[in-house]
Amino acid sequence: MQLEEQTITIDGQKIPFQSGQTIMDAALAAKIYIPHLCYHPEFKPHGSCRLCTVMVNGRYESACTMPSVAGQEILNNTKELNENRRALTQMLFVEGNHICPGCPKTGNCQLQAVAYYVGMLSSHYQHFYPYRDLDPSHPDYVVDFNRCILCELCVRASRDVDKKNIFAISGRGIKAHLIINSPSGKLEDTDFAVGDKAAFVCPVGAILRKRTRYTTPIGERLYDKQSIRIVGDSQQLHAGATKYGRK
């Protein structure tokens, strides 16, 4: 006997899911975009950025951690949820130093793309302007802590895939910040390498390949032509790759 297909409903659209899938997994498989920054399909869900918060049977839940259960009625693309997402995105912008005009990641940045998607036109909240350093010590990569949004994707990639455990979060609450696990606290004193998974997962411009920036012309960057809703996450980009310039 053939099993009846299990489905959930997102914004009135019935979509199938397989056992063990989260709402986010099922939505992405059905090409439904739920905004997110800390989610990555290759890593255990984290649920920290809260951008993927949806309404499940009348309750707020993060789509990346909530298992799909047959019959769930889910609201995703609503005015209220998107306004909340916009406020969360604005908070991320003011907590760090995200100067898009000068950032090498501009046009390829997931935070910037989400901000466009949720209709963010200003920071709204007062900027913290935190004083954060830059770690240019590594010969091939630079870590700019100004742009870190604490998604922990580098932490998970280095720990779970690279098995190096180079990155970590220290401090709590508003004092939480990215650190590098080395005696000096510098990247040069780790075995971080160009091919590491952690080198490619940063959704913003916090971990960048040295010297090879702005290589993709304006108009050809990931989010220049289409919204993140269509294009998807920025991790698909390889740092420094370009149609014309060197890698």
Partner 1 sequence: MSQLETATHSETLKRVVIEPLTRVEGHGKVTLLLDEDNHVHQARLHIVEFRGFEKFIQGRPYWEIPVLVQRLCGICPVSHHLAAAKAVDMLAGARQLTPTADNLRRLLHLGQILQSHALHFFHLSSPDLLFGINDAVAHRNIIGVIADHPDLGLQGIRLRKYGQEVIRIISGKRVHGTASLPGGMNKPLSLQHRALLLADIDQIITWSKGAVDLIKKVYLTNTDFHQRFGLIQSNMLSLVTTDGAMDLYHGGLRAKSANGKTIFDHIDYCHYHQYIHEEVKPWSYMKFPFIVSQGNEVGWYRVGPLARINNCDYITTPLAEIERQEFRAHANGGLVQASLAYHWARMIEMLYAAERIREILLDPVSTGTDIVAQGEEKSLEGIGVIEAPRGTLIHHYLVNDSGTIEKANLIVSTTNNNQAMNESIRQVAVEYLDGQTLTEGLLNHIEVAVRAYDPCLSCATHALGKMPLSVELVNHKGKLVDCLIKSSTGEITK
Residues that bind partner 1 (CB under 8 A): 101-102, 104, 133-134, 136-137, 142, 210-220, 242, 244-246
> Toward partner 1, which CB reaches closer, 72 or 97?
97
Judged by beta carbon, residue 56 or residue 202, the one nearer partner 1 is: 202
C-beta closer to partner 1: residue 197 or 209: 209
Q: How many helices (H) and strands (E) does the chain have?
A: 5, 10
Residue 168 backbone dihedrals phi, psi, to 5 degrees: -155, 165
* Nearer CB in complex with partner 1: 31/211: 211
Nearer to partner 1 (CB atom), residue 43 or residue 223: 223
13-39 burial code (b ≥16 CB/10 A, e <16): eebebeeebbbbbbbbeeebbbbbbbb
How does 150-167 read in b/e, with b if 16+ C-beta sit within 10 Å? Answer: bbbbbbbbbbeebebebb
CB of 215 to partner 1, least distance (A): 5
Range list of H helices, 44-171: 79-95, 110-117, 153-156
Cβ proximity of 143 and 206 under 8 Å: yes
